[in-house]
Amino acid sequence: MIAFKLYDAAGNLVAETDGFMPFPDGIRVVASDGELLLEVPPPPQDQIAYRLYNRDGRLLTCSDGQRTQLFAFLHMEKARI
């Protein structure tokens, strides 16, 4: 189950879900300029690739499935249950 709201490098909304949704066949989201924003392959693959931007177009974190980069300005909070 995945939920997302994905922006491109210009801060434009590219794709979003309406809450958590299953993607049994995987999902691939690409910006209009061809940049890969999210790729979750179908099972049994285990490598997820992504580039996550905020709504201002600032790159927050990215991963090619092997290596993840977290930038110092990324703010993370504990989940509220």
Token pair of 56 as six digits: 């201002």
Measured distance CA(54)–CA(51) in Å, rounded: 10
Give residue 72's region: left, alpha or beta (phi > 0; psi -120 to 50).
alpha
Each residue's pLDDT tens digit, 19-60:
999 999 999 999 999 999 999 988 877 788 898 898 888 888
Alpha-carbon separation of residue 54 from 38, 40, 57 (angstroms): 14, 20, 5
Instruction: Supply the pLDDT for residue 42.
Output: 87
In a domain, 81, yes or no: no
Confidence of residue 1 (pLDDT cuts 50, 70, 90): confident
For residue 75, pLDDT over 70 is answered with no
In a domain, 77, yes or no: no
Look at the pTM and tell me if it is higher than 0.85. Answer: no
Provide the number of structural domains found in the chain: 1
For residue 78, pLDDT over 80 is answered with no
Range of 60's domain? 5-70
In a domain, 46, yes or no: yes
